[in-house]
Chain A
Amino acid sequence: MVPLEWYIGLSAVIFVIGMIGFMLRRNIIIMLMSIELMLNSVNISLVAFSHYLQDLRGQILVFFIITVAAAEAAIGLAILVALFKNKAAVHTDEITEMKG
């Protein structure tokens, strides 16, 4: 039997990788994908908790996280397409309109 701590550790490592990707990349598409990575790592830990505590609430929460991820992908990519139409830029350094 695999200990529960291993699953939480795996989830933490993937979450931190997603966080580093969000902070360091300059491409907005990759930054959105890093958010998906973080949401997925939380899903892993929720399913592991649900299995080890013999309770279904973790798996129900995963549904809601997937809902939020789908909504975020749709809105985020629509904003990205609108931005690309107006400025032809997907790099964060080139988007400085609101810089005072």
Chain B
Amino acid sequence: MLPKIFFGYFSVVMIVLSILIITRRNPVHSVLWMLALFFHIAALYLFLNAEFLSAVQLILYAGAILVLFLFVIMMLNLKEELTAERFIGEWPIGVALGISILMFIYFAISKFIQGPTGQYTIEAIKKETHTKTIGKVLYTEYLFPFEIASLILLIAIVGAIVLAKKKRSEG
């Protein structure tokens, strides 16, 4: 019973927070609500026995990506944002489309059958700590995708520098 109450609290708060994120007029408020949402997601990961991912969520998403968003919003200084129209004119069509996709997903979930379970039970992970287990899988079975991920980050760094560089005047 208690886990269901916890999950109910988290799901209600997370849905309300995500609606707040997409409806606020001021982008700074959206970023701050998103910070609260990321803390709740990290707590949900703890609930699912993924403590390393919970730490990564806090450090990377709440610590790095959101600060980048906040930095850019503060730098751009959007004054006319507070008076401009928030949504495009055809918003009822978008909401109807979203609700219909939600119906599709609901029917798909009702046909859901769980597959066979793997070897990483909670006891097996507890025997040699979660971080060690996940590192073993990541650096043996998924080594090649890991290298591709590092390449993607390198390309992102180079692309951001090229875009932000000032154009040098001729001569």
Contacts and interface: CB of A to CB of B under 8 A. Distances in A.
Interface of A: 1-2, 4-10, 12-14, 16-21, 23-27, 29-30, 32-34, 36-37, 40, 43-44, 47-48, 50-57, 59-60, 62-64, 66-75, 77-82, 84, 90-91, 93
Interface string B133-171: 110011001100100010011011101100110000000
A29 B64 CA distance: 16
Interface residues on B, range: 35 or more
A16 B34 CA distance: 16
Given A18-B22, A19-B101, A27-B81, A81 B164 contact: yes
A81 B68 CA distance: 12
Main secondary structure of the interface of A (DSSP, over half): helix
Contacts, number: 209
Contacts of A27: 27, 81, 86
A5 B22 contact: no
Contacts of A74: 68, 156-157, 159-160
Contacts of B106: 9, 12
A54 B87 contact: no
